[in-house]
Amino acid sequence: MNAPLFNPSRRDVLAGALVVSFSLRAIPSLAQEQENVSKPPLPGSLKKAPMLDAWIRIDADGSVTVFTGKCEIGQGVKTALIQVAAEELELDPHAIHLVTADTARAANEGFTSGSNSMKDSASAIRNAAAQVREILIGIAAERLGVAADRLRAQSGAIIGPDNRRAAYGDLVAGNVLHVTAQPTSKLKAPDTLKIIGQSLPRIDIPGKVTGGVSYVHDLRLPGMVHARVVRPPSYDARLQSIDTSDAEKMPGVIKVVRDGSFLGILAEREFQAVTAMHALAAAAKWDIATKLPDETNISSIIESLPAEDHVIADKHAESASATRTLQAVYRRPYQMHASIGPSCAVASFDGDALTVWSHAQGMFPLRQAIAEMLRLPEEKVRCIHMEGAGCYGHNGADDAAADAALLASALPGRPVRVQWMREQEHQWEPYGPAMVSRTRASLDAGGNIVDWWYEVRSNTHSTRPPGAGQLIAARHLETPFTPGPPRPGDQPEGAGDRNAVPLYVLSNVRVVHHFVPDMPLRVSALRGLGAYHNIFAIESFMDELAAAAGADAIEFRLRHLKDKRARAVITAAAERFGWSSWQAAKGKGRGFAFACYKNLAAFCAVAVEVNIEHESGHVRLGRAIAAVDSGQAVNPDGIANQIQGGIVQSASWTLYESVHFEPRRILSQDWSTYPILRFGTVPESVDVYVIDAPGEPFLGTGEAAQGPTAAAIANAVANATGVRIRDLPLNSARVKAAIGV
Amino acid sequence: MAFSLLLIVVLGATALFFATHLSIPEDRSQRVFAPDLVRRGGELAALGYCASCHTAENGKPFAGGRPLATPFGTLFGTNITPDPKTGIGLYSQAAFARTMRDGIDRAGRDLYPVFPYNHFTRLTDEDLSALYAFLMTRAAVPAQNPANHLTFPYNVRPLLAGWKLLYLDKNPVPRDQTRSAEWNRGRYLVEALSHCGACHTPRDRLGAEIASQHFDSGEAEDWWAPPLNHKFPSPVSWSEESLFNYLRSWDVGHGGAVGPMAPVVAALATVPEQDVRAIAAYVGATLAKPGESEKRVDEKQPQAAEAHPQGAELYAGICATCHETGGHVPFTVTSLGQHTSIYAPDPRNVIHVVLEGVRPPEGTVGAVMPAFADTLSDAQIADIAAYLRARFSRGGEWQNIEAEIARLRRSTSP
Amino acid sequence: MITLNVNGRSRDVDDAPNTPLLYVLRGTLELNGAKFGCGLGQCGACTVVIDGKPVFSCLTPISILQGRKITTLEGLGSEDAPSPLQRAFIEEQAAQCGYCIPGMIMRAHALLTANQSPTDAEIREHMNANLCRCGTHMRILAAINRAAGGMHAAGARAPAKAEEEE
Ligand code: FES
Ligand code: FES
C-alpha cells in the first residue's frame, strides 16, 4: 500500500508483459529479479525477517511458538497459519501457540491487507517450519549417529529406524534456530500433506460464541478507566470555546482532556464516560469550516478535479477491423466499512513507555505514527494487536488507538479504554472512494473484441499510517500534524487502478489511471480497493459487448480467455449454477462475472439469480454460486467462509449503499441513514466451490468476491429488466426509474 | 340506535327499488395504451395510494388481500390486477368508470364505501382513463382473496344503494377563483384522488364522512388520524413548506410519518414534486391557524416529573438516549413535544409506536426505532405515555392507558 | 443497589439506575457476551434474553429489571460445555469476525425456546432485527436450523433446558 511513487516507464513495461503473458502472476517474480538479481529471493515475508527464530521458537520443554506479523481480522488467518506450521513441523495443530502482530515480539510484516497474509506470512512460516524441521533432523542425526535420510519428524520428536527418538525440546539447546533462512526449503510433497487442505475448525470461534475475551473491546486491565472523545461536527471544524466545568463535576468523571480541537473525557465507568461525553458535546462551540461537495453530482466533481495520469497498459497489434463500437460510463459512490463494532483501543502509559492494544491492521506503522504524534522514540511505544469487529480495510481502528494514546498519556499509571460511538464511526472512518470509469471497445464482424479502452478516475485508496498526520486526533491538536501526500498505489497490485487491466486476451488495449489527489471526503482502503469498481465496470461491459455480439455471456468470456485456471473457475461456476439449462421468467434474471483478484491472487467466478419486483424496483437475490481457486487451499472451509461473506457484503454495497452528505456534514451517521442488507433479503442460498491447486502458491482470497459479485448482480438486473444500470447502488428507486412504469 | 334502525328500514325500502344494476359485458379485447397515459396513471395511482389497501402484507402489488377493519366488520382489499378470474382483467373502461364513480362493480354489485368512491366519483375522465391504463398494464396476479366478514344488516349489499342515495355527492370538485391554481389543483387531488378525508374526517353511524366536520380528525387502522384544519391540536404550527417536507419524506420541525401514514408518504415520494406541492398548498391552508406564527413547544417538565416519577425515570433511561440529544440522532426532532401524537385525544398512536417501533422499507434511508413490546410492561409504557402527555400537552390526562395498551398488544401481536 | 437476576444468579450492582444493562453486564459484571454496536437499538449486537424475549440491552436501564430473568451468552454454555445452539454455531463455523454472533445467538435462543421448529422464513423474519457486517448470514441461518433440528432430535429436552436457563 505504501509502495514507492509510481514510475511510468516500469508500469508500462509490466502492463505490456501482462497482456502478452495473459497473466500478471508472472510479474512479482519479474519485479523481484529487478530488485535482487544476485541470489534467488526468500519466500514471502522471510525477505523482511530472514532469521528462522523470528518465526518459530521451540523451548526446552518442547513447547512450540509460531510468530506472525499479520493480524486476525475475522478472516481465520490464525488457524490457517497454525495448519501450515503444524504440517511442516509434523505437529498436532493444538500443540502450537501462535503469536500475532506485536511490535515487541513479531516480525514487521507491514499491514494485514490486500489478501496478502497467506502469500506473505504463510509462505514464510511454511518455509521456516520446513527448514527448522530439517535442522532438527540434522542435529538428531549427529546425536543418534544415524544418517539424516533415515530419520523422520513425528509429533514433536525426531524418530530413527530403531524407534529411538529425540524430542524437539532436547535438540534446540543453544541458538540453533537463530540462523538465516535459505531461499529454498524441503517442503512436504503435495500428496503427503495431512493438515494443509483440511477444514480445521477455527481456533477463535469457540471463545467468540461463549463470551471469552476475544476482542480488544473485552480487554480489562487493573485500574483501567473508560474514555470517550468528542469529535467536531465536521472534518475541519475547530473548537472555538468550551466550558468543561459541568462535565467535570459529573459522577465518575476523572478529567477532561483538551488539546486544540481534540476533546476527550475520562471516567471510572463506561456509561459515566458516555454521559459526560454528551454533556461535553453540548457545551462545545465549533467553527464549522467544512464545505463538502454536492452529493448529487459527486461524480462530475471528481471528474473535474485535477488528476495525474498513469498509463498502466498500452499495447497495440494488428487485428481484424472493427464493425461496431460500444462505450459506457460506470460510477460508484462513497461507501463505508461500517464495522458492526465501533473502533476501540486500550492504552497504558507508565510515564516513560506507552503500550497500545489495537485492532488496526498494521502494528508497526501504527507505532511509528503514535510515536511521532506523542514525540516519543519508537522504542518507547509498543503496539499489540487484538481483534476487533471486522474492519474490511482501514476504518477507525488507528484513529481510536491514537485517541487512547493521547488520553493515556494524560493519565499516567492507569490504562485507558476508548470506544467510539456509532455516530463517530460512521462519520469519521475513511470511506471507500467514489469512482468513475469511462470505457470503449470495438467488436469485429465475428463478435470478437478488437480494441479496448478504459479510463478510471479515483482518489487514493490508502491514507493509512505511518505518519502522525494520518491520525484524526493528531490533526486536531493545538499544533496539528498534516497528512502526507496521497499516493496512487503501484501496479501490478494497483489501488484505484486495481484490476483495471482485464485478464482477457486483447490485441489492442489502453488503460489509464487518472489519479485524483484532492479528497473531498476522507477516504482510504475498503476491501478490494478499486477492484470492486473496476471489476463491476469491466464485467458489466463484457456483458454489454456479449449482448452486442449476440453471444452467451459465459461463452463470450471464454472466447477471450487463455488462462487455464481462469477458464476453470468460470466453467465450474456456470455448471454448478446450471447456466445452460436456466429458465427465464418475467422479473427473473441471471448474471455472471469473473476476476482474478489483482490479476495475481485468487480466481473467483460468481453467478447469481435475482427477482425484481416491477412496481417497486426492489431487487431480491435468489441463488448465488461461486467457484474459487486460491492456489494450494490450506483451509477450504475458511476460503468458502470468506467468499460467502464477501458475496453477501458486496451484495449489500451493490444494492443499497452510498454515503450521504451535505455541504456542512456527513449525513450517514447510523444504520438508519446508512442502511445495509438484513436477514429479510439475503440470498436464498450462497454456495461456494473451492478448486484446490495442490503445489501451487497460496493466493489471497479475502477480497476476491467483492468485484465479481457486484458485476454479477448488475448483469442479472440487466438480464431481468432489459435495462443496463451503470451507477451504483442498484437501489429500488434507481431500478424503478430505469424500468419505468 | 332507534334512529339507525329506522334508517335501515328506509334504506331497505329504497334499496329494493334501486339495487338492481346490470352487469357490464366482459371485455376480452387486446388493450393498448399510450406510454404517457400509463405513466401518468402510475403517478395518479401513487397519489391515490391504491397499493396500500389493495396489497397484502408482503403480498404482490395490487393483488389485494389486506384486511381492513371497520366498525361494521372486516373487509379485504380486492385484487385490482388485470387477472381475468380473480382481478379486474375483464373490466372495460366503462365498467372501471362505473366502479370508481358509482361504487358498482362489473357484475353489478354495490361496493362498500371503505372503497372511497365517494372521492373517486369526482375524478376527471382523463384521470380515470389514465388509472385504467395503468392498472390494466400491471402484471396479472391470480389471487382469490378472503370473503368479507360483515355483521347484519351491513352484509346486505343492496342496502348500499340507499346509502349512496343519502351520501354519494357526484358533483365535481368546485374551483375557487379567489385561490391560486396550485391550491385548486391541490383541492382536486386531495378531494377526488388522495381521499385524505377517508381517514382524517369523522364518519357517522353508517360509515359516511360527515361533510360538516371535514378534516376534523378520524381513524385509520386503529390509529388516530389528526385534524387537517385549525383543530390541529399540536402547538407546533405547519407551513406549506414543512407540510411539503413531511409529505415527501421528513420534516425537521415535525418528524416523519408513522403507522398508516407511512405508506402514503412513501408513495408521495415517487410522484412529481408539483403534485405534492399542490396538496401542501391546499391542506397547508386549511391547517393554518388564523393569525398564528411559528409556536414553540412549551414544556412543563418539573410538574410532569412530579406527577409521573416512574414515567420520568423511564423516559430518562430509555427515550432520552435518542430523543434528548437535541435532534442529533438522525430522524429525531429536537423534542418529542413536536410529535402530534402527544396532543391526540387518546394515547393509541404513542402506544403503537412504542410497542411496534418504526422501520423503513428494506434498504432505504429512514427512521429506525426499536419495538419495546418485549422490553416494557403495559404499566411502564403507560407511565411513559402519561409523562409525555403531562410534560408537553395542555390537554387533559389520557384515560385507561393501560387497558388500551393491553388491547393494542392483542390486536397487533400476530 | 439494584439486584439483578443474571443467568440464574442474583447480582447486586451499584450502577446508577438509568445505566443501560449493556454497560452493567460488560463493566460491573465483567461479562463479554453482549457487545456495544450502536447504542440506538438498531443493530442487535447487545441482544440478551429477558423473561424469554430478545431485548436490546443498550436501551434497557437496569431500573426496570428488578426481579426479571436476564440470560446472556454466558448463561447458555461455556467453551468447555457449549449449549446446543452454541455448538451449532461452532459446527457450522458460523462466524467471521464474530462480533455480531453473541447477539445473534441470544435472539435465536429466544426463538427456539418459544418455537422448537421454526421454518426458514420464520427464522429470517425473526433475525431481521440483528445486523451482521461480515455477511455471515447464511451460516448463521444454517446454525439456527441445525440447532432447531438438534432440538427436535433432543425431543422435550430442549425446552426443559431453556426453562431452567430463564
Ligand atoms: S448496540 Fe444495542 S442495538 Fe445496537
Ligand atoms: S461475523 Fe462479523 S459482523 Fe457478523
Burial (CB count within 10 angstroms: exposed 0-12, middle 13-18, buried 19+), residue A100: buried
Entry field: residues in chain B = 414
CA of C101 relative to ligand 2 center, distance in Å:
7
d(CA A487, CA A310) in angstroms, rounded, equals: 12
- pLDDT tens digits for range B50-95: 999 999 988 999 999 999 988 888 999 999 999 999 999 999 999 9
CB-closest option in A613, A660, A731 to B363: A731
Confidence class for position C160, pLDDT limits 50, 70, 90 = very low
- The residue of chain B nearest to residue C125, with distances taken between CA atoms, is B58
In this predicted structure, the answer to whether residue A5 has a pLDDT above a threshold of 50 is: no
Give me the pLDDT at residue B2, please: 52
- Answer yes or no: do C96 and C159 share one domain: yes
- pLDDT tens digits for range A685-724: 999 999 999 999 999 999 999 999 999 999 999 999 999 9
Any CB–CB contact under 8 A between C143 and chain B?
no
Give me the pLDDT at residue A29, please: 40
Between chains, do A646 and C32 touch, taking CB under 8 Å as contact?
A: no
Ligand at minimal distance from the CA of C58 is 1
Find the range with the poorest average confidence among A21-35, A454-468, B295-309, C21-35.
A21-35
Give me the pLDDT at residue B158, please: 83
Give me the pLDDT at residue C157, please: 31
- Answer yes or no: do C28 and C68 share one domain: yes
- Answer yes or no: do C70 and C101 share one domain: no
Q: Domain holding C11: CATH number?
A: 3.10.20.30
HSE (side-chain half, CA atoms, 13 Å) at A593 = 35
Do A711 and A608 contact (CB within 8 A), yes or no?
no
Name all chains with 3 or more CB-CB pairs below 8 Å to chain B: A, C
Do B217 and B227 contact (CB within 8 A), yes or no?
yes
Domain count, chain C: 2
Alpha-carbon distance C58 to nearest alpha carbon in chain B (angstroms)? 9
In this predicted structure, the answer to whether residue A36 has a pLDDT above a threshold of 70 is: no
CA of C134 relative to ligand 2 center, distance in Å:
4
Any CB–CB contact under 8 A between B263 and chain A?
no
- Answer yes or no: do C65 and C88 share one domain: no
In this predicted structure, the answer to whether residue A732 has a pLDDT above a threshold of 70 is: yes
- Answer yes or no: do C46 and C103 share one domain: no
- pLDDT tens digits for range A166-207: 999 999 988 899 999 999 999 999 999 999 999 999 999 999
Q: Which of C40, C75, C110 is the last residue of a domain?
A: C75
DSSP assignment of A648-694 = HHHHHHHHH----EETTEE---STTTS----GGGS-SEEEEEE---T
- Answer yes or no: do C154 and C118 share one domain: yes
Return the residue matching grid coordinates 419524506: B249
Among A27-41, A324-338, B165-179, top mean pLDDT goes to A324-338
Best of B58, B315, B375 to disrupt the C interface by mutation (most C CBs within 10 Å)?
A: B375
- C17 torsion bin: left (phi>0), alpha (psi -120 to 50), beta (else): alpha
- What value does the mean pLDDT take over residues A42-59? 96
Entry field: residues in chain A = 741
Alpha-carbon distance A598 to nearest alpha carbon in chain B (angstroms)? 30
- Answer yes or no: do C152 and C132 share one domain: yes
- pLDDT tens digits for range A173-182: 888 999 999 9
Give the A:C interface size as CB pairs under 8 Å.
181
Give me the pLDDT at residue A464, please: 96
C-alpha cell at B328: 442529533
In this predicted structure, the answer to whether residue A25 has a pLDDT above a threshold of 70 is: no
Any CB–CB contact under 8 A between A213 and chain C?
yes
d(CA B11, CA B33) in angstroms, rounded, equals: 41
Name all chains with 3 or more CB-CB pairs below 8 Å to chain C: A, B
Domain hosting residue C33, numbered range: 2-75
CA of A74 relative to ligand 1 center, distance in Å:
20
- pLDDT tens digits for range A546-603: 999 999 999 999 999 999 999 999 999 999 999 999 999 999 999 999 999 999 999 9
- Answer yes or no: do C116 and C151 share one domain: yes
Give me the pLDDT at residue A487, please: 94
- A599 torsion bin: left (phi>0), alpha (psi -120 to 50), beta (else): left
- Answer yes or no: do C68 and C93 share one domain: no
Any CB–CB contact under 8 A between B139 and chain A?
yes
Ligand 2: which atom is nearest the Cα of residue C95? 1
**Pocket residues: Cβ below 6 A from ligand 1:** C 36-39, 41-46, 56, 58
Confidence class for position C152, pLDDT limits 50, 70, 90 = very low
Q: At what angle do helices C84-91 and C137-153 cross, to 10 degrees?
A: 130
Give me the pLDDT at residue B334, please: 86
Q: Quick check: CB of C134 below 6 Å from ligand 2?
A: yes
In this predicted structure, the answer to whether residue B286 has a pLDDT above a threshold of 60 is: yes
Pairing of β A381-385 and β B67-70: unpaired
In this predicted structure, the answer to whether residue B40 has a pLDDT above a threshold of 90 is: yes
Residue B96 CA: distances (Å) to CA of B89, B130, B162: 10, 11, 21
- What value does the mean pLDDT take over residues A259-269? 98
Read off the pTM: 0.93
Ligand 2: which atom is nearest the Cα of residue C97? 2
Q: With beta carbons under 8 A apart, name residues in chain C contacting A651.
A: 135
- With CA atoms as reference, report the closest residue to C114 among C124, C103, C126: C126
Question: Which uninterrupted H or E stretch holds A355?
Answer: strand A354-358
d(CA A181, CA A174) in angstroms, rounded, equals: 17
Predicted-complex ipTM score: 0.93
d(CA A613, CA B55) in angstroms, rounded, equals: 13
CB-closest option in A615, A674, A681 to B362: A681
Q: Domain holding C161: CATH number?
A: 1.10.150.120
Q: With beta carbons under 8 A apart, name residues in chain C contacting A202.
A: 93, 95
Q: Which of C75, C97, C124 is the last residue of a domain?
A: C75
Give me the pLDDT at residue B16, please: 55
- Answer yes or no: do C60 and C100 share one domain: no
Express as a percent the part of chain A with pLDDT over 90. 92
Q: Which of C75, C98, C122 is the last residue of a domain?
A: C75
Q: With beta carbons under 8 A apart, name residues in chain B contacting C40.
A: 321-322, 329, 368
Partnered with residue A383 across adjacent β-strands are A356
- pLDDT tens digits for range A53-92: 999 999 999 999 999 999 999 889 999 999 999 999 999 9
In this predicted structure, the answer to whether residue C82 has a pLDDT above a threshold of 60 is: yes
Confidence class for position A24, pLDDT limits 50, 70, 90 = very low
In this predicted structure, the answer to whether residue A21 has a pLDDT above a threshold of 70 is: no
For C42-161, strand residue ranges (E) read 47-50, 53-56, 69-71
Give me the pLDDT at residue A2, please: 37
Do A52 and A46 contact (CB within 8 A), yes or no?
no
Alpha-carbon distance A668 to nearest alpha carbon in chain C (angstroms)? 13
C-alpha cell at C42: 438498531
Q: With beta carbons under 8 A apart, name residues in chain A contacting B61.
A: 613-616
Give me the pLDDT at residue B11, please: 58
Do A539 and A605 contact (CB within 8 A), yes or no?
no
Give me the pLDDT at residue B352, please: 97
- pLDDT tens digits for range A310-365: 999 999 999 999 999 999 999 999 999 999 999 999 999 999 999 999 999 999 99
Give me the pLDDT at residue A23, please: 33
Give me the pLDDT at residue A31, please: 40
Mean residue pLDDT of chain A comes to 93
In this predicted structure, the answer to whether residue B151 has a pLDDT above a threshold of 90 is: no
- Answer yes or no: do C49 and C118 share one domain: no
* In chain A, residues 396-435 whose CB comes closer than 8 Å to chain B: 423
**Ligand 2 site-directed mutation target among A75, A340, A392, most atoms within 8 Å of CB:** A340
- pLDDT tens digits for range A209-257: 999 999 999 999 999 999 999 999 999 899 999 999 999 999 999 999 9
Q: Quick check: CB of A76 below 6 Å from ligand 2?
A: no
- pLDDT tens digits for range A124-144: 999 999 999 999 999 999 999
- Answer yes or no: do C70 and C89 share one domain: no
Ligand 2: which atom is nearest the Cα of residue A74? 2
- The residue of chain B nearest to residue C21, with distances taken between CA atoms, is B317
